[in-house]
Amino acid sequence: MGEQVKIVGIGGTLRVGSSTEAVIRRVLVHASDMGAQTQIFSGEAIDLPMYAPANVADGPRVRDLIAALRAADGVVIGSPGYHGGISGLVKNALDYTEEMAADPQPYFTGKPIGCVGTGFGWQGCNSTLHALRSVAHALRGWPTPIGIALNTKTPAFDADGNCLLPELDAQLRLMAEQLVTFRALNEAA
């Protein structure tokens, strides 16, 4: 491969160190270990004004997010399951991708999108994962073959962000591998 692969993570909650943020960060650690350049937008970085197409908010956080997503070769999106779906915080941040609609490659066209749903129980994390995969398709991205639904009833990370569950960490590594290698496959086609 020529240029370094860029993987952007987006999601989490306003609570620093949330389970969702920990999952995204761990995928990005694995991607970085594979040589990718990584960046995360979580917590306050995605606490943006409500998206309004006729009156788009402009500020450094919005500009940084859109610039990073435009430059990304792959994206990992994580959301906690709130009442059976994606959190408002994450959905609102994703709504800002409408600013990429007129780009030569609109939205996430041709980019691999890793999707992670978390929740305190299986119903919430699974329905959120399904919703994220639908959003990735709507934004013209390719959800990675592996999607992750994490039931947060069992602690999965220590205070330093290390994964305590080897099976989960293997899935996170696989997602990172799919995000990093998709570009090479796409270029070869």
Domain boundaries, the chain: 6-188
- Average pLDDT over every residue of 46-65: 88
Q: Could you tell me if 12 and 43 are in contact, meaning their C-beta atoms sit under 8 angstroms apart?
A: yes
Tell me which residue of 135, 130, 127, 129 sits closest to 97, measured CA to CA: 135
Task: Give the model confidence (pLDDT) of 80-130 as tens digits.
Answer: 998 889 999 999 999 999 999 999 999 999 999 999 999 998 888 999 999
Q: Could you tell me if 148 and 128 are in contact, meaning their C-beta atoms sit under 8 angstroms apart?
A: no
pTM: 0.93
Enter the CATH code of domain 6-188: 3.40.50.360
Q: What single DSSP character describes residue 49?
A: P
Phi, psi of 63 (to 5 degrees): -60, -45
Tell me which residue of 130, 113, 32, 34 sits closest to 69, measured CA to CA: 113
Task: Give the model confidence (pLDDT) of 169-184 as tens digits.
Answer: 999 999 999 999 987 6
Confidence bin at 187 (pLDDT 50/70/90) = low
Least confident stretch, 2-6, 12-16, 68-72? 2-6
